[in-house]
A and B are shown apart, each in its own frame.
Chain A
Amino acid sequence: MHKLWASTYKEMLLISRDIGGVAILFIMPVLLLVVITSVQDSTFKTITDFKLPVLLVDNDQGEVSKSIIDNLDDSNAFEIIQIDSEDEARDAVFSGKQQLAIIIPENLSASLQEKVDKNVGSVLERFGLDQEEEKVITKDDPKHEVRLYFDPASQQSFKNSIKNGIDKMISQIEIQSIYNAFQNELGEDESEDNILFETDGFISFVEILPTKGNKEIIPNSAQHNIPAWALFAIFFIIVPLSINIVKEKNQGTFVRLRTNPVPYAIVLGGKTIVYLGVSLIQFTLMLLVGLYLFPLIGLPNIDVSGKLATLYAVALFSGLAAIGLGLLLGTIAKTQEQSAPFGSIMVVILAAIGGVWVPVFVMPKFMQLLSRISPMNWGLEAFYDVFLRNASFVKILPEISLLLLFFIVTLLISIIYNRSQNAV
């Protein structure tokens, strides 16, 4: 025990003597968290002050284009800039000056009305109701396209959400026109007291959020980002830890330690304790940033009430998993040139397959399988369980058990590898 304490104290001294290194260990993850959360915040906001500028060319100047413009306006998500030329709109979007342009074709309102009237007339005629004139539906009736231009740099998910939104809007306008046509054909006026068709959506959807007590837990960017990037920072400890071990090998102190009556496990134990402390401090700083700094800079804060112990349990076991990997890398690597780049890239890969950047469920099947063996995924899921799914300690036991197992396995491999390399 005395040797373990001495090793721990030595590691503490070594880390505290490198002020620049300590600053990087603690400040950079916080900076990363603030930047990422600021960037992603608008994605999570349901009501936002930000409006996406949209170029709109209204060649129709009718009821349909008026409805489209009103709907876009009502969505509060767009700032409509009306211009006259499609060429001008296309150039602005394709050159990246604007993100989106909507071109409403000529005679859209009139054509839609004509098409609807024909359809409605045909239906009524089959029901034996007299029509003033015969309305023939032909397959050659021209289709009208609302053309969309996107900045080529736009992401597919952004394009899809815009396309879906406009598609839904146009469908609603078409349905409304059909209802109105029926109303007109049946000779009813459209006063509020005399509405034949209730056009408000009959089926709607509502998102049911998890609750804590009587309070709904509404996810925000901070609750998503703090676990994800705290985990990222915790795993980045692989780099300084592996460098620490490699440096010890290169500066000769490890040679001396090998001649001392001290097991390699004790040497690694001292490092584990200190670097675990570092990762818990990193996590604490991130929580403090989420709790106190985020509200000051206009970002959503986090709710940790009643969750602190479970959150720290996840941070602790995630830290152990990261340290296990760092110990293994440091034990195997011979130079800092091997350990530093390998460690950094490994963390990025683990983050990618762990679901830090892209949710696991949207990954290809093979990557989904791979993510199940990523310790960062276990940690992230445990954090999300606590932060967003209001899970208890028992619920996260499988994930933290896997993290602990990962630490034990990597530690054992490190010890066995060291023994095989230095056996006498």
Chain B
Amino acid sequence: MIEIVKLSKKYKAAEDYAVRDLSLKIKKGEIYGLLGPNGAGKTTLISMLTSLLKPTSGRFTINGLNFQENKTELKNIIGVVPQEYALYPTLTAYENLSYFGSMYGLKGSSLKNSITAHLEIMGLLKFANKKTSTFSGGMKRRVNLIAGILHKPKVLFLDEPTVGVDVQSKNVIIDHLERLNQEGTTIIYTSHHLNEAEFFCTHVAIIDRGKIIVKGIPSDLVKNQEGANNLEDVFLAQTGKALRDYA
């Protein structure tokens, strides 16, 4: 489904590579978690996979397609949920979703039905006609997610979709993502919530300093890491306890 070969990214002003010679294969139907400390290269990797950043070197294909040759086709089969609330604050939830759905070619009743169904599942139907500027962080996250999945993408990229939300919102988001996965959507997501990732992801890769340190099924990783009781133990054992502040 997704094949990444020796993918690298070095920002112009940076001394080091953000992602270096990263290779990875993700199969159809997997929920793949990209985990790592701040500045590990998770968002850079997702940005390259979603056409937001140009790789310095290396290549990748999604469903056999690449952005150089099949840009529009590829954009039609992927969904992206960025880390920030990518919504127009003065538009209502419905208007935001209607616009972003239209950009995927959805229209008429199929667009309307899709928006209504997702809003209902996410518990936002009664707020459909409220401006998103009045929404709480959790509500905005849910609308942000819907905007990326209205067109039923084959591959969904999520960059920290549950950051800064309450437990209730997080549960609704994760439940909905699991449902989408069961319907055939491959999910690639980044998160700092290791507990969430351990139970949500079918596979994870721990990335640090632009490279994959360890990857596999979460339970296998825990089992194989000496003294580890959970994924967080694995994470700390692999990446260390030093702070990773960067600017």
Chain A residues within 8 Å of B, Cβ to Cβ: 2-3, 6-7, 9-10, 13-14, 17-18, 251-253, 255-262, 422-424
List 17 additional contacts besides A3-B105, A7-B99, A261-B104; criterion CB under 8 Å.
Answer: A2-B105, A3-B102, A9-B99, A10-B88, A17-B90, A18-B90, A252-B86, A253-B87, A255-B86, A256-B82, A256-B147, A259-B75, A261-B105, A424-B48, A424-B53, A424-B67, A424-B71
Chain A residues with CB under 8 Å of B100's CB are 256, 260
With A6-B102, A256-B147, A424-B68 as known contacts, state yes or no: A261 contacts B91, CB within 8 Å.
no
Give chain B nearest CB distance to A5 CB in angstroms.
8
Query: Do B88 and A261 have beta carbons less than 8 Å apart?
Result: no
Query: Do A13 and B84 have beta carbons less than 8 Å apart?
Result: no
15 A-B pairs with C-beta separation under 8 A: A17-B90, A251-B84, A251-B85, A252-B82, A252-B84, A253-B88, A256-B82, A258-B52, A259-B78, A259-B82, A261-B72, A424-B48, A424-B54, A424-B55, A424-B68
A interface, over-half SS: helix
Query: Do A14 and B107 have beta carbons less than 8 Å apart?
Result: no
Distance A78 CA – B107 CA, assembled complex (angstroms):
72
Distance A259 CA – B67 CA, assembled complex (angstroms):
11
Distance A369 CA – B107 CA, assembled complex (angstroms):
51
- Interface size of B as a range: 35 or more
Within 8 A of A (CB), among B199-221: none
Chain B residues with CB under 8 Å of A422's CB are 52
Query: Do B103 and A3 have beta carbons less than 8 Å apart?
Result: yes
Contact with A13, one of B85, B91, B107 (Cβ below 8 angstroms): B91
Chain B residues with CB under 8 Å of A6's CB are 98-99, 102-103
Distance A251 CA – B132 CA, assembled complex (angstroms):
13
Q: Which of A13, A257, A260, A423 has the most CB of B within 10 A?
A: A260
Could you give, for residues 54-86 of chain B, a 1 whenever the CB lies within 8 Å of some chain A CB and a 0 otherwise?
Answer: 110000000000011001100110101010111
Chain A residues with CB under 8 Å of B82's CB are 252, 255-256, 259
Chain A residues with CB under 8 Å of B78's CB are 259
Distance A258 CA – B95 CA, assembled complex (angstroms):
19
Give chain A nearest CB distance to B106 CB in angstroms.
9
Contact with A423, one of B54, B86, B91, B107 (Cβ below 8 angstroms): B54
Query: Do B86 and A256 have beta carbons less than 8 Å apart?
Result: yes
With A2-B107, A255-B84 as known contacts, state yes or no: A260 contacts B89, CB within 8 Å.
no
